[in-house]
Structure 1
Amino acid sequence: MAEISKITDTATEAPPNNNTEKSKSPGEKPVQEDDLNKIRKTKPGSKRLLLTLTVLSSFILGFPFLLKSTEIFRSPLPFRAIDLLSNGLESNPLSLPCHFQAVFIGFNHVRSDESRAQELGFLISHKMREMTGNDPFCGGCGNDYTVSVTIDSDSGCIRNQNVKIFGNYENLCLWNCGEIDFSGFDVENDEEFDGILAKILRGNGACLASRVYSVVVMNKGGEDIRVVVGKHRHSWVLGSVSEADAVSLISKIFVKLYMNGGNEEGMVQGKGEFMPVGADGSVVISFSLLNSNPNDWVYDWDFRKIEESLLAPVVEALSPIANINVESQVLYHTPKSSFSYWDEKLASYVFSTKDLPFFVNSNEWHLDTSVAAAGRSKVLHFVVYIPSAKECPLLLKLPNGDVSTTNGFMSPMWGGITVWNPPSCVRDYQTTQPARNSFSPQDLQKVFQVFMGQLRLLFGLKSDNIRVVESGITSFLTSERGFAEWELDVLFRHHTCFNLRSCATTLGSLSRLVQSLPRMIIMDEIGKQVKFSLEAATLAQKNASLGMYEASAVSSRQARALAEDAFFHPSIMSLSYSSIEHYFAIYMPFFAPVLLHVLLAAIKELRRYKRERAKYFAWNASAKT
């Protein structure tokens, strides 16, 4: 056993490595293991690198598709056109052209040439510029007006020739000398004479669209001066008047009435913000008849007849500046909130102007029941308040101690209230059976005259033009429409300017908002509304430059309504738009971890490939040497 073990041990001894010994030639160093790792005899493969780069490139190429699939739709808006509209209205306030005509009848002059008419025209224009100043307000005539002077005397017809042509009707729109003999007419009958002048000055209908404002001065010796303002676009002065006084009167009428609408300061800047017209160009006029205590008496009215006979002409006259809807209601058990006291001198209950803020009882007066006043429409309330027997008659006492002739008051931007005392109103009135009554036509006429005065005040005009400041007007003729033609022209000009400025402001705000929020949704409908609004504003400016007041008012109202619709579009208030940081905060948790690992793997694989290729190039270079 010992021998066998010995033989086994001997056999297990490793034989000499002949290969190693053969490789060790004289003068050569042995090859170490580290040197073998630095040598690569085969060219490294690129499959792993291509696979990694393919995965990385798929992420990179897919990123634009991700942005495209998650982008917010934005309809292109004409930002430059919006800026041009805003800057144009800001630098050049809108002024509509006005044409004025002064006619002198019965003035005999030594000179029978055009120089006298030229001189009178210059004096009137100079006087008008002194009153208007050099800073024209928006919606007025500005300096874009002409003054024509015609002298109709025994020596002939003299007319100044340095005026612009009134549209295409130059001859028809000017006064035709000798066309009518005033001696055959009763000039004291204002209504009849107003119709005669309207027929003459309009040229049998040819000058209806030219907007020529005329003042006819008839010099008749020995008579007091009467100044009458017609319900169309003309006035007349009758009596013994000198040229200087005639020039002064004509200038005042042109500026204070036909330019400023009877207001001393004119339509001041910013007053349009308080006009009773909604942003969508519509107005709802709500008439309410309030029976304070129906146990005493109950009153009703036939509102259909009222609307057809009294309100229809008013609605038609104001249609260019507002889309008016009319409605009515009768309410019961509607006491007022303020208190009244008994006045022995007046033998009636009295409430003062200090009680007006507390007169409306918002808890009992359910006035806001209109279904037509949706969106941004404006509601004007006109209330007829019938007091109960315990406070009847009820009168409004003014601060100076007098009793109000209308027995009513108005609230800006809200409407007006009229207190109507029943004819059977007596103190300590008691009855077990309440009487049912209806308004008589005469009472309705009086009530609606008060309402018309309140409506005129709400639109910025005088209630009845009786107290026009320092104008020396003897009489104003009223129109069945509630507004004279020259008053409607003032409203059209003013509302055109206000609507265009409001349109430009709204579109400018929308433009700045859209540009500040790149992720805001802009639907095609908004883009169309902005486009149509700019087109309507451009059309309104064009019509205004041509003196087409109604058309410019309608176009400006549409421009403002479209701008408001675009700004308050429901999609703008969506929660889908946000900042770009919020956008990345949503998607980065999903893609950042995977993309980071793929990027690190690609970098690692690229480094490995470069290292292995360097080994191969090093071995290849050593093998060649």
Structure 2
Amino acid sequence: MAEISEAPTSSDPPNTKSEEEHFDPKTMRKTKPGLKRLFLTLTVFISFLIALPFLLKSIEIYRAPLPFEDIDLLSTEMEKNHLLFPCQFQVVFVNFDDITAVNELGLLIDSHMQKLTSENSPPCGACGNNVTVAVTIDSNSNCIHSESGNGDSKWQCGMLNGFDKVNDHDEDFDEYLESVLDSKNRKVYTVVVMNRKQEDVRIVVGKYRHAWIVGNDSVEKAVEKMAEIFIKVFVNGGKEEGSIRGEFMPVGADGKVVLSFSLLNSDPHDWVYDWDFKELDEILLAPVVDALRPVADISVESQVLYHTPKSSYSYWDDTQGSYIFSTKDLPFFVNSNEWHLDTSTAAGGRSKVLHFVLYVPSAKECPLKLQLPNGEISMTNGFISPMWGGIIVWNPPACVENFQMQHLSRHKISSEDLKMISEVFMGQLRQLFGLKSESLYVGGFATSVLLTSDKGFAEWELDVLSRHHTCFNLLQCGTTLGSLSRLVQSLPRMIIMDEIGKQVKYSLEAAKLSLGNVSLGYSDASAVSSRKARALAEDAFYHPSMMSVSYYSFEHCFAVYSPFFLPVSLHVLLAVMREWKRYRVENRKYLAWKVKVKVE
């Protein structure tokens, strides 16, 4: 581009010969340098600068704000601190005329409970030191209450006068105590100690929130036994493991459980059996679904399959008069190639599917019995697989008959057999949830009889499940949200939708609500809130918008766009620098000439 300079005015004097001699064209110039070239290059450069924000906006990643501080607080609290529920215990001594110091007796009971608790660190969901013990002396001459008793739940003296069905009718006495104590609403665990002249001391744990000890026992021994009932049974559920952190929970990440019941006919050429699943649902499942509602959202499904042989082998035992399969063959019993059990719509999601299989063996291996490691035959003829489900081998009555006469005939499992099967399934379900299937608890001081409930779970067992599931859900919620927080902060270009932000917000609110219910001792409400908190945290972490995009760093983004814009931008920048440098040089030449003219 040609240089356009300002022309000299007509008023300038004519150049003399001496001025021409002193003019150096390398260091001076007589005309002022033009600004057109500099203006054009600056215009192009400024247009690039103006377009830069639009470019950055076009590649901007939307990120909804997340409460990182609240997430870190919840995650840290759940990792470092165990949740401890407040527990209220009540002890009633009946026909103990020589006891008057009820406050000292309450301290003694609390001391024994602390000894049992201090053997291991308090597990998550236990009571720890957050307990209150109320003592009542109900005798013919005294009716004394301790100072720590709650006025609404105090024992009314004389309630057991004339009641003689203590040892003979446990169910009736259990219902009578519940009508008196109303433990379902008051949430108080009670142990009644009755001083009676009999040889053996009998301990019974009811299906609500109370137990009773009957016999001629000393106060010191009774205190040891009731402390064991409070801590080992009512608080820990009869389990010896110390912490919920290492325990698997048979509940899906979304808080749902699918109970899938399957009737397998090994060889339909021998016989075909069907069942009235509606009757099984009414006997077993409906009360269970209602009882476990705070812990999980349970749905039920069933199916009947044919041509489903097992994978393991069995052998004939003349002594037992049956085919035998041992416990070492259990890992190979399930035939995953032939047993098409995962037909549920929830099998591919985050809901947990628990399979309960009723296996009908073929005539070639019938009757089929399970041999335990000690050589005895299993009474239930079934087994469980943790986190998978349970299996029962049911030998049909046709085993002892001529099976050729039953060829291709259809049979239906009788109501009596179905009831026995439902009881075994209930025991397996209890074991899958971490509870005992037998009706006895063998403790360090005595053996207690555990009454069974029609709905499969006693009230105190449901409390244990609610407390433990609350701890597990809140721990998983804190871990999931903490992982999400670290992931989002490590990937600045990760897309965070508004829906994810809302899910995280609602998850934290549900977790805080659950923690508030824990402090108040509401185990059912805390379990429901914790389940919601965990489900929302899992939904946020596995949101489709986060899983469908491959994220990359800013350096990668620069490497992608630099071949398009860097060459042009570099040339424009170099042109601006060159023109600015040229303008300064030419302007200095002009100023040098002006100074030279003034001096002369």
TM class by shorter chain equals over 0.9
Q: Distance in 2 between matches of 1:460 and 1:186?
A: 30
Question: How far, CA to CA, are the matches of 2:166 and 2:20 in structure 1?
Answer: 143
Q: Distance in 1 between matches of 2:406 and 2:534?
A: 56
Q: CA deviation at 1:323?
A: 0.9
Letter in 2 for 1:233: R
Aligned-residue CA RMSD (Å):
1.9
Offset of 1:93 from its aligned partner? 1.0
- Give 1:86 shift: 1.3
**2:87 paired residue number:** 98
Say whether 1:548 aligns with 2:538: no
Q: Is 1:341 equivalent to 2:315 in the alignment?
A: yes
> Can you list the C-alpha shifts for 1:535-554, whole angstroms capped at 9, x where unaligned?
11000000111111111001
Q: 1:213 to 1:23 in 2, by over 3 A?
A: closer
Q: Does structure 2 retain, via aligned residues, the 8 Å contact 1:72–1:577? A: no
Aligned to 1:585: 559
- The 1:595/1:265 distance shift into structure 2, 3 A limit, reads closer
Question: Partner residue of 1:121?
Answer: 106
CA distance in 2, matches of 1:35, 1:343: 124
Q: Which residue of 2 aligns with 1:457?
A: 431
Answer yes or no: is 1:213 the counterpart of 2:198. no
Q: Which of 36, 44, 63 is matched with 2:33 structurally?
A: 44
Q: Distance in 2 between matches of 1:256 and 1:80?
A: 38
Q: 1:253 matched to which residue of 2?
A: 229
Q: CA, structure 1 residues 61+327, in 2 after alignment: closer, same or farther (shift >3 Å)? A: same
| 1:9-408 superposed matches below 5 A | 31=21, 35-109=24-98, 112=100, 116-133=101-118, 135-162=121-148, 170-183=150-163, 185=165, 187-202=167-182, 208-266=184-242, 268-272=243-247, 274-408=248-382
Identical aligned residues as a percent: 61
1:340 deviation in Å? 0.8
The size of the alignment, in residue pairs, is 584
Q: How big is the shift at 1:419?
A: 0.6
Q: CA contact under 8 A between 1:533 and 1:558: conserved in structure 2? A: yes
SS at match of 2:384: strand
Instruction: Note the alpha carbon deviations across 1:435-473, whole angstroms, 9 max, x for none.
Output: 211111110111111111111111111012325344523
Q: Is contact 1:390-1:429 (8 Å) kept?
A: no
Q: Is the 8 A contact 2:346 2:352 kept in 1?
A: no
Query: In the superposition, relative to structure 1, how do residues 128 and 30 fare at CA in structure 2: closer, same or farther (>3 Å)?
Result: closer
Question: Is the Cα contact below 8 Å between 1:136 and 1:143 reproduced in 2?
Answer: no
Tell me which amino acid in the other structure corresponds to 2:136: T
SS of 1:44's partner is: coil
Measured in 2, the distance between the counterparts of 1:222 and 1:359 equals: 50
- Aligned partner of residue 270 in structure 1, secondary structure: helix
**TM-score, length-scaled by structure 1:** 0.90
Partner of 1:11: none
Name the counterpart of 2:501: 527
List gaps (5 residues or longer) in structure 1: 1-21, 164-169
From 499, 502, 509, the counterpart of 2:483:
509
Compute the displacement of 1:306 (Å): 1.6
- SS across alignment from 2:364: helix
Select between 410-419 and 140-149 the one with higher mean Cα deviation. 140-149
SS of residue matched to 1:161: coil
- Secondary structure of residue in 1 paired with 2:156: coil
Secondary structure of residue in 2 paired with 1:81: helix
CA distance in 2, matches of 1:602, 1:618: 24
Is the Cα contact below 8 Å between 2:208 and 2:460 reproduced in 1? yes
Map of 2:394 onto structure 1: 420
Q: Distance in 1 between matches of 2:159 and 2:205?
A: 22
In the alignment, residue 401 of structure 1 is paired with which amino acid? G
* 1: CA distance, partners of 2:564 / 2:202: 89
Aligned equivalents of 1:244, 1:584: Cα separation in 2: 78
1:472 counterpart residue number: 446
Conserved 8 A contact 2:206-2:450: yes
Give 3-state SS (helix, strand or coil) of 1:247's partner: helix
Inter-CA distance 186–246: structure 2 relative to 1 (3 Å threshold): closer
Q: Which runs of 5+ in 2 are unaligned?
A: 1-14
> Which segment is superposed worse, 59-68 or 75-84?
59-68
Tell me how far 1:47 sits from its aligned partner.
2.6
**Higher mean displacement: 569-578 or 413-422:** 569-578
Distance in 2, matches of 1:185 and 1:350, equals: 45
Deviates further, 606-615 or 284-293: 606-615
Q: Distance in 2 between matches of 1:29 and 1:119?
A: 122
Paired position in structure 2 for 1:17? none
Among 445, 449, 456, the alignment partner of 1:482 is 456
1:487-529 per-residue CA deviation (whole Å, 9 max, x = no partner) reads 0100000000010000000100111111111111111111111
- CA 1:137–1:474 in structure 2 vs 1: closer, same or farther (change >3 Å)? closer
SS at match of 1:31: helix
The alpha-carbon distance between structure 1 residues 228 and 36, as it changes in their structure 2 partners (threshold 3 A), is closer
Q: Normalised by the size of structure 2, how large is the TM-score?
A: 0.94
Whether contact under 8 Å (2:363, 2:399) holds in the other structure is yes
Q: Which amino acid aligns with 2:246?
A: K
- Post-superposition shift, 1:44? 2.1
Cα offset for 1:229? 0.8
Task: Tell me the distance in 1 between the aligned counterparts of 2:399 and 2:269.
Answer: 14
Which SS does the other structure have where 1:351 is aligned? Answer: strand
On the 8 A contact 1:215/1:235 being kept in 2, the answer is yes
> Structure 1 residue 486: deviation in Å?
0.3
What is the distance in 1 between the residues matched to 2:517 and 2:54?
49
